[in-house]
Amino acid sequence: MAEITASLVKELRERTGAGMMECKKALTENNGDIEASAEWLRKSGLAKADKKAGRVAAEGRISVAQSGNKAVLVEINSETDFVAKDDNFIRFADAVAQTALTSGAADVEALKSAKMPSGETVEETRAAVISKVGENVQVRRLVRIDTANNVAAYVHTGNKIGVLVELKGGDADLARGIAMHIAALNPPHNKAADVPADFVAKEKEIELAKMSDKDKQKPAEILEKIISGKIAKIVNEVTLYGQPYALDQDKTVEATVKAAGADVVGFQRLAVGEGIEKVKEDYAAEVAKAMQV
């Protein structure tokens, strides 16, 4: 059995980022062979990742990477907000975003096999992070913009919300302002033409049902004008262009953009955990159950 020295443990720890005790165990299991020990740790990380894969990961952060008119957002999830603030997790999330940008990966599956600066794939690195933080970690979503137009990439304080905006014309400041507006107000659609026809039809049906019998007796053209006015207001509420601009409430986003001779081509918005059903912990019941054991 080779002697497991402190310097050997230190070297393996620096190479893999694993804990000191894990490195010592790996070296012991592999007779001091540092290459075999590094592989052993990697496999151990994959095994731990597999065991945690079924656990709900609805916390995390949105990380961004941008180079000129190319930008990406990635959502990386953890089980708790505590781990989402861990330095290991943050470094991983930011490195994944940069890898997404440079690799050109079009979706999460392609991103998982992309090489990180360490030479390992995103998926291999994810497994190692799980070993360090002790929670399920998932690379959930990726969105990107690659265009000749102005691009703003904005991540809100706390890295829980991220936005990409493509702006034709205008400038970088306007693009960023629009991105901040989208982060705050979360418009489902860009312009009125983007609102689905079935949504508009349903809203018309609802507004008509809300009208009094007296109003329903009005001439068809008057009735249509009243309903159209109500629908226009609803459409404004659910579109970026129809909303009052967050940085200048006296103007709509549309008026602000047009005054700059610009046009919002499109946008992407990610919020951590949206669409994931979070597990609700009943700690009182858990303690009571433990007391009965």
pLDDT tens digits for range 199-238: 999 998 888 888 777 777 778 788 888 888 999 999 999 9
Which band of pLDDT confidence, cut at 50, 70 and 90, is reported for residue 47? very low
Which band of pLDDT confidence, cut at 50, 70 and 90, is reported for residue 33? confident
Tokens representing residue 215 in the block: 């109003």
Query: Can you tell me whether residue 53 is helix, strand or coil?
Result: coil
The average pLDDT across 265-291 equals 72
Residue percentage of the chain with pLDDT more than 90: 56
Q: How confident is the model at residue 293, as a pLDDT?
A: 44
In angstroms, rounded to a whole number, what is the distance separating the alpha carbons of residues 150 and 167? Answer: 5
- Tell me which fold the domain 6-52 belongs to: Helicase, Ruva Protein; domain 3 (1.10.8)
Q: Dump pLDDT digits (tens) for 82-103.
A: 989 999 999 999 999 999 999 9
**All structural domains of the chain with their residue ranges:** 6-52, 54-146
Q: How confident is the model at residue 6, as a pLDDT?
A: 85
| Residue 75 near residue 60, CB atoms below 8 Å | yes
| Contacting residues for 70 by C-beta, under 8 A, at least 6 apart | 101, 144, 145, 146, 151
| Contacting residues for 46 by C-beta, under 8 A, at least 6 apart | 124, 127
Q: Which amino acid type is present at position 218?
A: K
| Contacting residues for 267 by C-beta, under 8 A, at least 6 apart | 163, 164, 165, 166, 178, 179, 182, 190, 240
Tokens representing residue 1 in the block: 């059995």
Architecture of domain 54-146 in this structure = 2-Layer Sandwich (3.30)
First and final C-alpha spacing in the chain? 43
Which band of pLDDT confidence, cut at 50, 70 and 90, is reported for residue 166? very high
Which band of pLDDT confidence, cut at 50, 70 and 90, is reported for residue 283? very low
Domains 6-52 and 54-146 share a fold: no
pTM for the full predicted model = 0.75
Tokens representing residue 219 in the block: 């001439």
Residue percentage of the chain with pLDDT more than 70: 87
The average pLDDT across 55-68 equals 87
Q: How confident is the model at residue 217, as a pLDDT?
A: 76
Of the two residues 186 and 15, the one the predictor is more confident about is: 186
Beta strands in 180-223 (DSSP E): none
Q: How confident is the model at residue 49, as a pLDDT?
A: 45
